[in-house]
Chains A and B, each alone.
Chain A
């Protein structure tokens, strides 16, 4: 019987041990390779990683369509008639097109992450200087994405109808889906104001690059970056006073953001795959070669010359000695590709590792010049000097044309035309032209004569899922 008691004891001990093991705490188990929200925003490093994701998502969103739709749409570049993106510029998009849906979703996915940073970081416990920088950068990224969306979807955004339906403005981070919190599209004007608000607040918190800042920080928002983006936004909004103001601010840092002596230096031809230097002229670019992602920038088609190449007709419009059409900037590309086709040095890296330029100093020059002329409605001397700066550096020493003077232009329109033409040459292949055309009232191409088709249809999915609260653009 003693023996039995002994066993019984063991049993009771085992029983107690195994029962005690089942307390509630055992049920709180996070997986190792996945973080939850509170973990991400609660720590400086992971918050930085989330911010990096917002940039990366913005980059992912634009690399698929931005350059195609901006340049091929207006004949700066040419592609095959069967290119998968062709509907982005031939007016055949429908509300169910996968392209618009992807574009819409990708930008909003980036916006959601910026909202997480903006709304949840303030409660985090790490250094407030870091927090303020994170929030400011997130605001810049949010503004950037709203701007890209607005110019593609916002009714009247580029044509001056500020009361048109803009975008649903989502400023809260996703926590749970509640259909009662679906929002309708705010007016284009409200969206513009939101963008300015974000950029102003971001600029206030941010400082500028210094000599000590790593190269790659041109891929992240600085004070000047915010002003520079605001300068273009204001120009698109046709708020020229604002455009001048922001341009001036954006051009005020003359040590870090400098117009280089020749456009060829901004886009050197290289086959390097990592850490390609970023020119001081780049105010904001997605620093592809600094990303450890094996994916290319989606523009290797330029190098291979089979998917996209500069339109020879467009190249012929450059003056004979213009560096921007010289062999330094319009290069041979893939030797195996058709010999009649060329490749811009902007995207000549055979591995697709060129940085994606978004804002350059030269654009700000031209933004300001245009805004000055339009706001004063005169043949403005400062505008001419800004235009000259861009034009003069584009020719080699010895064959520079005579600088423009006030007398070079017979009318305000002639000056505007010259500025816009210069813009076309200067920013070719960088995804600008379609929007410059539309905002100046010119149909981008012969397929898009109906101004309703200058903006994309709202994805039908959005309308269905919000039971019509989000409305369709006219004409779709």
Chain B
């Protein structure tokens, strides 16, 4: 018997001898698992109605002293169903079998710096244990989609390895960087969603896509940028559970980083017992969900010839457009078809785990390949993990969880090729007369008169075949810990964690007209984060009073460095090294550090397990903030009442568990304020500008010593219930998150030297409810059906924006990548000019003003040169985020067959169909290919159509005059409601069929407890939506939730089919 156990029993015996009389009788037994008979370790065995309790040892053995001969043993253990065993005249059964829980609801929930029994949880935590019938999605953000109420995951595009935005309970702040949740993997806060860090710019000359005023299609250019998904480095097969912390009780302990929610990832650990081997292999085929329908080459040529003829006839200026209108017929290149394919990918994952009473291990390795539906654009991942825990002695445990992954993302060109294939003129062959890629499209007359360089280089086939554009990540997220048991109720834990994240990106444009002799950009990013936690965990029961919690301290340090070099004028297309270019420059050389020092505590108190109180606090000090406001405290308090333990509910059979809970607390964010948010900053220019030979340092950010942490007050009320023998579990909650000191870029009068500054000038409210129902509908020997449903509603309102000049600030925000914010509106609202359709009499678009006045001329033109502002006619036309969203999962088992389907939905979200706007952009200088809808334009009075006359009073190509202003097409503006559509959808995300056939086979081979399963699954099989684009579940601006709701010919999510097998031995 181990020393610890001896000691325990000694103490216990002393205690008992004080409190009880001498009529003691030793009861012993062995706990075994019902299915394979393996011992159950660490189960709690209690004599019902007393405090006599013990735990089972490594062999499942337990013994305790009973005071009376007749009693009931209450046995509980994590992962097993509770069991009551009656003991008559001190005769207990020798073996007691426990049944493993079949539902996904388990009792232990991981929370910040500890674990808690779900039945005693007073906060709001959503748990997901990835356990699909088929294969896990390739990255964990996709696993979360639709699974947990209140967690809204939106992928940016269908390109492999592209980022997603994850929003928990709505928008938290009005700056991009602050809306992503903190992600903590095995105690290590990892580098998460940060658009700037994760974006790779692959053209040194590219301007980021931005909104200008007026926003017309003519000047819309997509970003030459790829935002990779930092979560793609994690192997989903290694994940034991994902916990989403939502309310104050759960998030306040993450203090200054908790405001946008926290996601805790716990990886699999070794279990006691013989080595278990798991092998999964599957292969997947990926297709475009649907492709845009465009004009053929002949239709295109015909359309543009007619259009310019009409324009020529209508235009008063002689000689315009010029006669050179070479829209030739004869070639019909289907660019989309040429770059499209069925991408074949693979997934291989293996793991081995097991352990003895001393050491437990989990080792895994895997390889994934995702091939996009664009030719030559693939994503590969290699990963390995070792999780080991070892008891050095009875009181000391050490362990390590370490993972290494390498991702090679070769699909950075996918989005660009897809975009280019849509807009590229179809009347041009892929190759020109000398056999080189035809990079240039037709020479459009608008282009000539515009005096600008003829065209951009566009040739999607050339791009995918010649472009070298990849980003490679090497990442290790590891944690080493040691635990010292100071007393039976007190444990000290030391954690040392690392997130080591190396990225190298390279992109190359080959020698072509626009980039003579080629250009390249290469960047290296090196991020290194360490975290040290000192934690004292306690867990103590005094009679009816239970105390548990943690007191600790954490120190986190992050070092980030990046260099970017660009080069032009290469010797040869074949030589990739930048050293072979004659023109080289360093555009970025950055090295920075920040630290966070924190003190944290949590106390959970329970009286009779019925009345529960939780108190947490965290004090954070950050190097990013000024000394005056450096340390901030984030407290929370919560309470729970387990009604089901009250007498008045005890007799109601169908209510097994019922708990009411509520919490209040504070969380914060620096709103992505970045480094030295409070101090004035002086920077060098990226181009190395000098004046008269002296390097320039200029003031780039104004000081604001009063800058404070943005603070969110969270209130949450929840109800958790287990009904009908816990076959139905319901969780419902209402929350309200009130944010003050909202960090926003506020305007300054220019005479002070700066025009804007980050200030604490706003307030915002998020409120909503969440409902989750999981039920085991049917549970028979041969047939079972379980389902799980969740729905959430969030409403976001900016209650105060202390802008001195609201219009100016809203416009500035919109231009710099935010939105046209208004007080009383949502942070993701579409405030647009109201498009009133097409006037049947004249074919002109109708614009509806704020007081319902109708104008046939856009207000931008109407008010030009006056002091009136057309923006006063903007209206709130809806929200980019849904009113309701959620998921519905169903799982069936019939004998050896398994079947599951999973649907997700969103209701009430609007999406701006910028893809359509681009496919209507015949007035643009590039003469892009068009949607066939354009052929249905208004022609004669009386035509009822939503396509205005090609030449109308809203596209100023009609007005005579010179250069750029003439081609503004207000019908295509991103600030008009013309292309705003309902993006509500219902999607069949996954459908899986599986067959388990291994049992008999394995038994014959004398292997116990193994399984062999084959499965076939389809993802994204169908989509029900009113959206006229292809996929409403994308976002042209990457992980930015503030800019969500734009489809700018963004690659739709693919449809995939997968077959594979899983072997467990």
Contacts and interface: CB of A to CB of B under 8 A. Distances in A.
B805 interface: yes
Given A27-B623, A292-B690, A94 B866 contact: yes
A442 interface: no
A52 B553 contact: no
B696 A53 contact: yes
A9 to B, nearest CB: 11
A173 B866 CA distance: 35
A355 to B, nearest CB: 10
Interface stretch (B96-104, B148-156, B327-335, B699-707): B699-707
B691 A59 contact: yes
A18 B532 contact: yes
A461 B749 contact: yes
A165 to B, nearest CB: 13
A14 B590 contact: no
B682 A37 contact: yes
8 contacts: A21-B532, A27-B622, A84-B964, A109-B750, A109-B754, A112-B754, A174-B754, A177-B748
Nearest to A48: B694
B757 interface: yes
Given A40-B697, A94-B866, A466 B749 contact: yes
A470 interface: yes
A59 B395 CA distance: 72
A80 B396 CA distance: 83
Contacts of A53: 691, 696-699
A467 B964 CA distance: 36
B196 interface: no
Contacts of B209: none
Contacts of B966: 82
A429 B141 CA distance: 61
Contacts of A470: 749, 751
A57 B698 contact: yes
Contact of A40 (B496, B589, B682, B704): B682
B996 interface: no
Contacts of B487: none
Nearest to B558: A29
Contact of A26 (B534, B557, B700, B703): B557
A27 B621 contact: yes
A140 interface: no
Contacts, number: 245
Given A34-B681, A113-B698, A287-B692, A18 B750 contact: no
Interface stretch (B231-239, B434-442, B463-471, B591-599): B591-599
The main secondary structure of chain B at its interface with chain A is mixed
Contact of A37 (B621, B623, B680, B684): B680
Contact of A461 (B451, B492, B688, B805): B805
Interface stretch (A214-222, A360-368, A387-395, A433-441): A214-222
- Chain B: interface residue count, which band? 35 or more
Interface stretch (A100-108, A195-203, A223-231): A100-108
Contacts of B748: 177, 465
Contacts of B680: 36-37, 174-175
A383 to B, nearest CB: 35
Nearest to A106: B750
Contacts of A27: 595, 597, 621-623, 630
Given A216-B692, A291-B691, A467-B804, A459 B393 contact: no
A417 interface: no
A459 B690 contact: no
A47 B178 CA distance: 34
A18 B392 contact: no
A50 B702 contact: no
B866 A461 contact: no
B753 A175 contact: no
B675 interface: yes
A292 B597 CA distance: 43
A84 to B, nearest CB: 7
Given A81-B961, A112-B699, A174-B754, A56 B689 contact: yes
A22 B597 contact: yes
Interface string B659-679: 000000000000000011001
Interface in B123-148: none
B676 A31 contact: yes
Of A30, A83, A104, most B-chain CB atoms within 10 Å: A30
A108 B751 contact: yes
B704 A461 contact: no
Contact of B699 (A32, A113, A214, A466): A113
Given A11-B484, A105-B750, A176-B703, A291 B451 contact: no
A180 to B, nearest CB: 13
B753 A108 contact: yes
Contacts of A293: 685, 687, 689-690
A249 to B, nearest CB: 24
B592 A31 contact: yes
Contacts of B754: 109, 112, 174
A220 B681 contact: no
A50 B808 contact: no
B555 interface: yes
B291 interface: no
B515 to A, nearest CB: 16
Nearest to A14: B494
B471 to A, nearest CB: 22
Of A36, A46, A113, A116, most B-chain CB atoms within 10 Å: A36
A334 to B, nearest CB: 12
- Which 3 residue pairs are nearest across A and B when measured between Cβ atoms? A112-B753, A82-B962, A31-B592
Contacts of A112: 699, 752-754
B189 to A, nearest CB: 16
B623 A95 contact: no
Interface string B201-241: 00000000000000000000000000000000000000000
A109 B702 CA distance: 11
B695 interface: yes
A29 B623 contact: yes
A5 to B, nearest CB: 10
B551 to A, nearest CB: 13
B925 to A, nearest CB: 14
Contacts of A22: 553, 555, 597
B854 interface: no
Nearest to B495: A18
Given A7-B392, A33-B589, A306 B867 contact: no
B683 interface: yes
B10 interface: no
Given A21-B532, A29-B593, A57-B698, A82 B963 contact: yes
B622 A170 contact: no
B1007 interface: no
Contacts of B682: 34-37, 39-40, 46, 50
A95 to B, nearest CB: 6
B553 to A, nearest CB: 6
Given A32-B591, A174-B703, A465-B748, A50 B494 contact: no
B534 A49 contact: no
Nearest to B533: A18
A50 B698 contact: yes
Given A29-B595, A56-B691, A294-B687, A459 B750 contact: yes
Of A24, A49, A168, A306, most B-chain CB atoms within 10 Å: A49
A133 B809 CA distance: 39
